[in-house]
Amino acid sequence: MQRRNIIIGMSGGVDSSVAALRLLEAGHAVQGLFMQNWAEDEEGYCQAAEDFQDARAVCEILGIPLHRVDFSREYRERVFAAFLDGYRRGVTPNPDVLCNREIKFGSFLAHARRLGAEAIATGHYARSDGSGRLLRAADTGKDQTYFLHAVPREALRHAVFPLGDLLKSEVRAIAKANGLPNHDRKDSTGICFIGERPFADFLGRYLPDRHGDIVGPDGTLLGRHQGLSRYTLGQRQGLGIGGIQGQADAPWYVAGKDPGRNTLLVVQGHDHPALLHRRLLAVDPHWICNAPDAWPLRCTARTRHRQPDRPCAVMPGPDGTLEVLFDAPQRALTPGQFVVFYDGPLCLGGATIERVGGDPGASRPEATARHGAPLSA
């Protein structure tokens, strides 16, 4: 095995800690680097200082140096600005994908190379074979290739994923057996800059709420919403609808947004036809290796992290768009999120969902597609 100088991103969590341990056991020269991607705010959320202390404690046990770098300016410019812009446009963005592309495998990689690293490593659950291909992790429940699909191939060539062949339970067992103090630390969830506070309250600090109407499939006024940015497609909780005279006694779900009229469309029933679609239009595609050389592309796709793969056909559209037709209807396809393509264990790449709908014979509110513009059948 060739010994390499590797700098690993240390978050203070158990995953990056065990990843660093495995690199050492494999004989590499390892250094840690703690990234602060969000400046502490006046409310004290996103506890970077606490995370840094946890990372430092682990590095002391492992006997490796720990660097610290502040990428909060880059994060705000390249990730957070796009996050806010998505909500302004009435879509639901996914900042984790941009964070990986722009920060963890962009700014971090460049910084590590300046420090003399030959490669970088992270605690992501994924695999790479050294050629720049991205492969699923052994732990299908923790696999994070959905969030990594937009990372450039050149960056993946310099990336190592030491946890790709492990289950999460094995990672915790290794940490405990080696005396790592964070072996039972709770996994972080959500987005760093939001922390433990309510998401809607945080977003309201940057995007003032515009209250508007909640309407049913036939246009009936059912209530008032607190701002379109507070809702996502398929959402059930927090609608404040119930006991409406003349309506069936069944839960209501968000089925669409109309930013132009500032209205929220809702339907009753988890599997209402308005929530089920076979088609979507995606923009800004990124292929990790090469774009397909034959169309249509038959593959599987996810539209959410941890969602089972679904078979589909992909066709190129005008101006670099992609049209994706699933074999079976999918629930709550959401503009702003990503559709990620797979060929068995291989992650091919993905694109941003722009519009949904246009299913032959589907019954749905007019504005289920973004801005009320359905795709052709």
User: Which residues belong to the active site?
Assistant: 99, 192
Q: Which helix (H) or strand (E) holds 286?
A: strand 276-287
Of 13, 68, 67, nearest to 36 (Cα)? 68
Return the closest-CA partner of residue 256 out of 282, 277, 273, 275.
275
Amino acid present at 342: Y
Render the burial of 3-33: b for 16+ CB within 10 Å, e for the rest: ebebbbbbbbbbbbbbbbbbbbeeebebbbb
Closest CA to 277 of 310, 233, 325: 325
Contact (Cβ atoms closer than 8 angstroms) between residue 306 and residue 137: no
Helix (H) or strand (E) holding 111, with range, is helix 108-114
Residue length of the chain:
377
Ordered DSSP codes for 302-339: ESSTTPPPEEEEEEE-GGG-EEEEEEEEEE---TTSEE
Q: With the C-alpha atoms ordered 112, 117, 122, 128, is the resulting torsion angle positive or negative?
A: positive
Q: Are strands 134-135 and 346-356 parallel, antiparallel or unpaired?
A: antiparallel
Q: Which residues pair with 258 in a beta bridge?
A: 263
Place of tokens 């490796």: 64
